[in-house]
Chain A
Amino acid sequence: MFGLADPWIVAAYLLCILSSLLCVLYGWAKWNSDGGASSDETAKWAKEEDKISDTL
């Protein structure tokens, strides 16, 4: 099929495309789910993170 000698290669090629599609559909379906308001905890974490990247 498609000029490829081995069904295992055809399967790999198709699975690459299908898994990419899976990612697209999943991301699309969940695009707006869990907006995630920032909590004090995440803000505290982020401040510390900035400090680390500044020291580097």
Chain B
Amino acid sequence: MWTIIAVVFYLMLVGYLGFLGYRKTTNASDYLVAGRQIHPYVMAISYGATFISTSAIVGFGGAAGVFGMGLLWLTFCNILVGIFIAFVVFGNRTRVMGYHLDAHTFPEFMGKRYGSRFIQVFSGAVIFIAMPLYAGVVMIGGVKFIEIYMGVPYDAALAICAVIIAAYVIAGGLKGVMYTDAAQGTIMFVGMSILFIFTYISLGGFTSAHQALTDLADKVPEKLAAAGHMGWTAMPRFLSTWWWNLVSTLVLGVGIGVLAQPQLVVRFMTVKSKRELNRAVFAGGIFIFMMTGVAFIVGSLSNVFFFRTQGMISIAAAGGNADAIIPLFISEALPKWFGVLFLLTLLSAAMSTLSSQFHTMGTAISRDIFQQLTPKTKKDNTLIIARLGVLLGIITIVILGEVLPDSIIAPGTAIFFGLCASSFLPMYALGLYWKKATPAGAKSGLVVGFLGSVFYILFIHAKESAALGACQALFGKPNLVPSLAVVDPIVIVLPISLLVTVLVSLFTRQMDPQQVERLFRR
């Protein structure tokens, strides 16, 4: 009962803040034209809320329950690459070039940078096709918690989540009003802080909790030990299957992939000045640590709790589904009232991220694909297409919520991040910093990165190729190159697409020097 009251109250609060933000018109042009001031706290914390989703907390927290604290290398990458490098190195250059190009979406930014409609349409298509997978796993993160914490069947929990999110999106959540994001970020920060402190206290303190987890090393299931798992406070055996899974897929895939996330790159363009970027770095580092760092530490330590209370490790207590570990830990180890707060934390994390994902999907289908292919069409039609795109996106993620297998959140996120990195990162990074990058080079890198990733997922990376079955059907074996079966696509495909972009750029016609200078002016 209290849970329902809290959720309804929360939704009313979010709705009210959205209305307040809308009425005060803290949107981009008013801010710029009137020079209105937004408090730096609101500005900074709203970024974090968009970055961190239920995928990071529930999915990767659960993965930490299986892999252990080695996942903290991902938190380190998230802070250093996802915040520091992204904001300090890429952020301002993106912002300035975005203004010069008058670009409003990531595909439009790339298309105008290279003067190529193909790049804009192709990038938009990649986003529109692949983004639902990421949005789907973000939603599953919330659904899993509702299922376990409130004891409702999965399908009903999925329906509840879909209705809340659809209502939020339709009621104007897409506007991404900063007040709403900041309120959601604050709830996330408070929720994760309590979780962090409570977990350490309940397990006997900082060092004792770690020691207890270290002592569980001999409880690693034989199959995982054979694959290279050496305990939850140790890295996997160097170059073992388990090591490749952790380092190449989870740490590198997501850690580097964050640089080329279309919905995050767009954020840099909506920033008003370099000052705001610097201020966001201030709060961003701590915020990411309190989100992913805490989720990974708590996920790992949950093994101690489940072993003490049930005599089994987390993944066994969760019935083999890593996505259920964090929800189960919250509902069994923490006071009931915290479960309500954590539910709001997850709703906040899901809604703030999904709103930006739907915004990106909506603009990809309308502005980047439809408007580019049919430039003479009426504005009304573009609007209808955008809304249809968002609706299609919602339906797709509900279907994905039904059909995707267990323990999918972390790998699903990693696939999307890896795909974005291999397809977009070379042309994006070189486009910002290398005047000699040519349209032909960018196109080649984009196509090689995307098709290379898809090929690798279908025919080489064992985890997906075995599950998807295309390789078995065509070649009669689960994957084509057994020695690369555990190496993530990003390790192979990203360097290839980068090399292709550079080489093709060196040997093709350069862009007009005057035009390039205009792009690179500060």
Contact = CB atoms under 8 A, between A and B. Distances in A.
Interface of A: 2-6, 8-9, 12-13, 15-17, 19-24, 26-28, 30-39, 41-50, 52-53, 55-56
A22 B272 CA distance: 23
A27 to B, nearest CB: 2
B100 interface: yes
B99 to A, nearest CB: 5
A26 B84 contact: yes
Interface in B59-78: 68-70, 72-73, 75-76
B174 A33 contact: no
A3 B211 contact: yes
B31 A21 contact: no
Contacts of B176: 53
Interface string B74-108: 01100110011000100000000011101010000
A46 B270 CA distance: 8
A35 B275 contact: yes
Contacts of A21: 285
B383 A55 contact: yes
24 contacts: A3-B206, A4-B214, A5-B233, A6-B235, A17-B289, A23-B281, A30-B275, A30-B278, A31-B275, A31-B279, A34-B273, A34-B274, A35-B273, A36-B272, A38-B273, A41-B100, A44-B102, A45-B98, A46-B32, A47-B28, A47-B29, A49-B270, A55-B366, A56-B363
A13 B272 CA distance: 34
B386 A56 contact: yes
A39 to B, nearest CB: 8
A32 B40 CA distance: 11
Interface size class, chain B: 35 or more
A15 B104 contact: no
A52 B102 contact: no
A13 B297 CA distance: 9
B382 A49 contact: no
B98 A3 contact: no
Interface in B4-42: 27-33, 35, 40
Given A19-B285, A27-B281, A3 B207 contact: yes
A16 B217 contact: no
